[in-house]
Amino acid sequence: MNYKYKENHLNEYDKMSESVKKLIDDTETKMSKLINDYNEMIELLPEYENFSEDEDANNFQLVDTVDLSSKFSDLSDYIEDYTS
């Protein structure tokens, strides 16, 4: 492989990698906001006072974000992990 071709390939790879990283970061931010906004809306409902740990007893569900960031970390690692 000639030097010019390899340099161009690496530049394109870097651009793609940065674009994917930005997409994942933006998506994580937007998804977190959507979930938090939803949870806040539910928590403001009068019925929330009767919230039960028994999910079947509720007329609504809250979305837990405890593991959300790790899911996006896995996605962020994908390109590096699967580039040969």
The residue-averaged pLDDT of 56-84 equals 87
Calculate the alpha carbon distances from 5 to 1, 10, 49, 56, 83 in Å: 7, 9, 64, 60, 18
Every domain of the chain and the residues it spans: 3-81
pLDDT for 51 equals 67
The residues, any chain, with a CB within 8 Å of residue 45's CB and separated by 6 or more, are 60
The residue-averaged pLDDT of 24-33 equals 97
Can you list the alpha helix ranges (DSSP code H) found in the chain? Answer: 3-43, 68-81
Q: What percent of the chain has pLDDT over 90?
A: 58
For 35-65, how does the pLDDT look when each residue is reduced to its tens digit (9 = 90+)?
Answer: 999 999 988 988 777 766 666 666 778 899 9
Q: What percent of the chain has pLDDT over 70?
A: 86
